[in-house]
Structure 1
Amino acid sequence: MYGNWLANGVVVLATIAAVCLCVLVHYEGLSLLGRGLAKRHDHQPRRKVLYGIFAVLVLHIIEIWLFGITHWALLLWPETGHLVSATTTGFLDTIYLSAMTYTTVGFGDLAPVGPIRFLAGTEALTGFVMITWSASFTFLEMERFWRR
C-alpha cells in the first residue's frame, strides 16, 4: 500500500491543496470579519465579540468540511487507504473524522489506514494552528470592543 508512489503523491498533493485552501479561507474570513466588526455601529460594542465568535465557528466548520471532502475524495481511490470502523463508512463519516482530527480530539471509532494518514496528521496540525489563530483574533477583538 505504501509502495504505490502515485497514491502517495496524490495524497500529498491533495493535502497541500487542502491546507492552502484552509489557510486562505481562514485568512480572508478573519480579514473580512475584522473589517466588518470595525464598521458595525452597535449600541452595545461587546455584542461585536459575540458576532465574532459565531463567525469564527462558521469558519472552522467550513474548514472541517473542506478537509472532510478531501478525505472522502481520496477514499474513492482504494490505493490511498481506507477507514477502519465497526460499521460501513460514508460521506458524513469522513466529515466526522475530519472534525475529530481538526479539533485534535483524536481517533475513536474511525481511524485512517494507509497513505491517507498523511492528510489526517497534517489536518490535526492545521486545525490546531487555525484554532490558535482564532483565539488570538478573538482576544484582540475583545480588547478592542469589550470595555467600550
Structure 2
Amino acid sequence: MTDYMLDSGHFLVVGGTFIAVVASVLLHYEVSIALSRTMENATNSLRRRFLVLIFGLLGAHIVEIWFFALASWLLLTHPLTGSLTGLESIHFLDHVYLSAVTFSTVGYGDLVPEGAIRFLKGTQGLTGFMLITWSASLTFIEMQRHWEVGKKS
C-alpha cells in the first residue's frame, strides 16, 4: 500500500477549482437575476423575451465552460498537477472541449485527466450539473409565469 501525500500540485488544483467554481456560480447568479428582471420588465413579444432568456443562459454556460478550461490549462502548466492523455499534443481548445463535455456531464472519455487535476474535473461535472438544472428551473418558472399572464390577457 502506498502512502498518498498531498503536494503543492494538489493545493494548486484545489485553489484553482475553488476560484473556477466561485466565478461560475457568481456569474450564473448575476446573469440569472438580470435575465429574470428582463423577463419581468419586458414589453416586447413573448418569443423575443424567451430568446433573450435562452441565449443569455447559454452564453453564461459557455463563459463558465471557458472559466474551467482556463483553470485546467493554467493548472496543467505545473508538473505536479497532473496531465491530460488521449492526444499527442494538447492545445487550449482541447481544454475547452474537455471542459464542455465535463460541464455537461457527457464525458466521452477521449481525453482523460490524470493526477490531481481530476479533482477539478470531478468538481466541474457537479458544478455544471447544478448550473444546468438551475437554468432549466429558471426557464420553467419564467415560462409558467408568462404563460399564465398570456392566458389572462
| TM-score, structure 1 as length reference | 0.93
Q: Considering Cα pairs closer than 8 Å and 6+ residues apart, tell me whether 1 or 2 has the greater RCO.
A: 1
Aligned partner letter, 2:40: A
Gaps of 5+ in 2: none
Residues 81-133 of structure 1 show CA distances to partners (whole Å, capped at 9, x for unaligned) of 00001331011100101001000001421110000000000000000000000
Matched, 1:128 2:129: yes
Q: CA RMSD of the aligned region, Å?
A: 1.3
In the alignment, what sits opposite 2:106?
A: 105
The structural deviation recorded for 1:25 is: 0.3
- Secondary structure at the aligned position of 1:83 is classed as strand
- Secondary structure at the aligned position of 1:54 is classed as helix
Runs of 4 or more off by more than 2 Å in structure 1? 44-47
Instruction: Choose which of 15, 20, 28 in structure 2 pairs with 1:18.
Output: 20
* Residues 1-148 of structure 1 aligned to structure 2 (within 5 Å): 3-42=5-44, 44-147=45-148, 148=150
1:107, 1:19 → 2: CA distance? 22
The structural deviation recorded for 1:5 is: 1.6
The structural deviation recorded for 1:50 is: 2.1
1:89, 1:48 → 2: CA distance? 40
Shift in alpha-carbon separation, 1:64–1:140, aligned structure 2, 3 A? same
- Secondary structure at the aligned position of 1:112 is classed as strand
The structural deviation recorded for 1:144 is: 1.6
1:145, 1:47 → 2: CA distance? 12
Preserved CA contact (<8 Å) 1:49 1:145:
no
Aligned partner letter, 1:26: H
1:4, 1:52 → 2: CA distance? 43
The structural deviation recorded for 1:38 is: 1.5
| Residue correspondences, number | 146
1:33, 1:139 → 2: CA distance? 13
The structural deviation recorded for 1:17 is: 1.1
Preserved CA contact (<8 Å) 1:45 1:146:
no
| TM-score, structure 2 as length reference | 0.90
The structural deviation recorded for 1:28 is: 0.4
- Secondary structure at the aligned position of 1:80 is classed as coil
